[in-house]
């Protein structure tokens, strides 16, 4: 079946266009496209939003849904780490695949078509989770473009086995090397080891940085310096960056300028950080989110991701990026029309380009985009619009409901 989707709103060019799909590929984009064969179904989208799909730039698929099996009674980060440390001994490749598939299916139904997931690699889980995700990456390749980050959750400096498995993960095909310098006594050494691996295997870097309320913890500054020193400009992403929000502007402005010079992408995780941060504050309790608006105002590419989904670190989450940016709108004071439009971009075109996905709707590309039941970016967030339709196996399915 071929299709002409008429009157779709393409928000990134701000135009109403028709899209002609032939044999599962975008044949033509323009106005008033007429069918050239009888086997063409015409669907009037009535100015609904058409995009490539949402981009979830930071998720932990290997941990997802563990919270349904083991309860974090205190809700704290410390108990979450303890739970994961114990649970890993019982994790199997099949367990990881089963839970990950549920979230991938949920995310797909909610419009995600591009996803970067951090997968633990250490002496406990070894390469089981990496093996599971490499198989799922192939299994879901027609539905979701998955990037795998090999993530050394428990550190690498004092644990040679974890470092060994981290390198093995890259040899096996992990796309990106991760890092978590705050877990080490020597954060600079940790980052240098990660840069060494990245350069050896010519992969990008994505680190967990400054997920803390401690204003003095500004590892992001060191990361930016190392990025420039190693010639890795434009190849590094930093997730969380919470402590920036705990400092005055005179402290963070030079750091932000350095981030900009290093072309580091920032991924904010509002749901998890709103839940975990600020717990030590007795008054004026902080929200614990990176200063998103400030970073955007200084031309830093900022994206928003799901992070943890129903696991010991965060009991919430539906793999729904419209839900995530609604949370961000509240947590980051971003309710104006321009703010809402930018939030929409932070789960679509910004991470699509910053994380180097093939993010565009153009002639010759596979038709794998989504239609949102809304006519403006802001309205899609405010109403938490349903996914009106999408392509699956070259068939356009309509009237689908989220979750």
Tens of pLDDT, residue by residue over 375-387, are 999 999 999 999 9
According to DSSP, the residues that pair with 42 across neighbouring strands are 4
pLDDT classification of 398: cutoffs 50, 70, 90? confident
The architecture of the domain spanning 2-52+360-398 is Roll (2.30)
* Protein fold of 54-354: TIM Barrel (3.20.20)
| Percent of the chain residues topping a pLDDT of 90 | 89
Tens of pLDDT, residue by residue over 213-224, are 999 999 999 999
Report the run of H or E that residue 151 belongs to, with start and end.
Answer: strand 145-151
Q: How far apart are CA 190 and CA 184, in angstroms?
A: 7
Residue 402 has pLDDT above 70, yes or no: no
**pLDDT for the residue 81:** 83
Tens of pLDDT, residue by residue over 33-74, are 998 777 899 999 999 999 999 999 999 999 999 999 999 998
Stretch 157-175: mean pLDDT: 96
164 CB-contact burial (10 Å; exposed 0-12 / middle 13-18 / buried 19+) = middle
Residue 119 has pLDDT above 60, yes or no: yes
Tens of pLDDT, residue by residue over 307-361, are 999 999 999 999 999 999 999 999 999 999 999 999 999 999 999 999 999 998 8
What are the structural domain ranges in the chain?
A: 2-52+360-398, 54-354
Of the candidates 233, 154, 226, which has an alpha carbon nearest to the alpha carbon of residue 189?
226
Q: Model pTM?
A: 0.96
Report the run of H or E that residue 18 belongs to, with start and end.
Answer: strand 15-22
Q: How far apart are CA 175 and CA 384, in angstroms?
A: 32
Alpha-helix runs per DSSP H in 23-159: 77-87, 93-109, 128-139
Of the candidates 229, 259, 232, which has an alpha carbon nearest to the alpha carbon of residue 244?
259
The question of whether 211 is a catalytic residue gets the answer yes
SS3 content of the chain, % helix, strand, coil (to 5): 40, 25, 40
Query: Which residues neighbour 151 within 8 Å (Cβ) at sequence distance 6 or greater?
Result: 118, 119, 120, 121, 178, 179, 180, 208
Query: Residue-wise over 99-115: b if at least 16 C-beta within 10 A, else e?
Result: bbbbbbebbbbbbbbbb
Question: 211, 248, 249, 323: which one is catalytic?
Answer: 211
Stretch 296-303: mean pLDDT: 97
What are phi and psi for residue 181, nearest 5 degrees? -60, -25
What are phi and psi for residue 17, nearest 5 degrees? -135, 160
Over the chain, what is the mean pLDDT?
Answer: 95
**pLDDT for the residue 350:** 98
User: For the chain, how many residues are written?
Assistant: 403
Tens of pLDDT, residue by residue over 59-112, are 999 999 999 999 999 888 789 888 988 898 889 999 999 999 999 999 999 999
Residue 401 has pLDDT above 50, yes or no: no
| Percent of the chain residues topping a pLDDT of 70 | 99
| 11, 24 contact by CB (below 8 A) | no
């Amino acid at each position: 079946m071929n299709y002409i989707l008429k009157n779709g709103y393409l928000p990134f060019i701000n135009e109403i266009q028709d899209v002609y799909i032939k044999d599962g590929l975008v044949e033509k984009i323009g106005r008033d496209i007429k069918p050239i064969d009888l086997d063409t179904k015409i669907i009037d989208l009535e100015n609904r939003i058409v995009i490539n799909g949402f981009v979830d730039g930071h998720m932990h698929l290997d941990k997802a849904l563990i919270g349904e099996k083991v309860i974090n009674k205190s809700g704290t980060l410390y108990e979450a780490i303890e739970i994961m440390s114990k649970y890993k001994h019982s994790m199997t490749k099949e367990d990881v695949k089963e839970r990950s598939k549920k979230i991938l299916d949920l995310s797909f139904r909610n419009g995600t078509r591009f996803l970067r997931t951090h997968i633990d690699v250490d002496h406990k889980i070894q390469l089981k989770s990496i093996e599971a995700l490499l198989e799922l990456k192939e299994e879901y390749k027609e539905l979701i473009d998955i990037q795998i980050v090999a993530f050394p959750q428990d550190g690498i400096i004092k644990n040679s086995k974890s470092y060994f498995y981290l390198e093995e993960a890259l040899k096996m095909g992990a796309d990106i090397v991760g890092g978590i310098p705050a877990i080490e006594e020597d954060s600079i050494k940790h980052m240098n080891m990660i840069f060494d691996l990245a350069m050896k295997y010519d992969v990008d870097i994505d680190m967990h940085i400054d997920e803390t309320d401690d204003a003095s913890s500004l590892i992001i500054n060191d990361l930016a310096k190392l990025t420039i020193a190693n010639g890795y400009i434009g190849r590094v992403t930093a997730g969380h960056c919470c402590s920036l929000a705990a400092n005055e502007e005179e402290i963070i402005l030079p750091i932000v300028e350095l981030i900009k010079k290093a072309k580091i992408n920032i991924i904010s995780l509002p749901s998890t950080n709103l839940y975990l941060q600020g717990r030590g504050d007795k008054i004026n309790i902080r929200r614990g989110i990176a200063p998103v608006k400030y970073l955007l105002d200084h031309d830093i590419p900022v994206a928003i991701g799901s992070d943890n989904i129903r696991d010991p670190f965060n009991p919430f989450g539906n793999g729904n990026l419209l839900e995530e940016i609604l949370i961000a709108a509240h947590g980051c004071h971003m309710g104006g029309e321009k703010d809402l439009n930018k939030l929409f971009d932070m789960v679509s075109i910004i991470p699509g380009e910053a994380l180097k996905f093939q993010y565009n709707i153009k002639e010759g590309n596979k038709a794998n985009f989504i239609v949102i039941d809304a006519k403006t970016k802001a309205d899609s967030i405010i109403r938490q619009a349903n996914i009106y339709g999408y392509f699956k196996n070259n068939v356009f399915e309509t009237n689908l409901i989220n979750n």
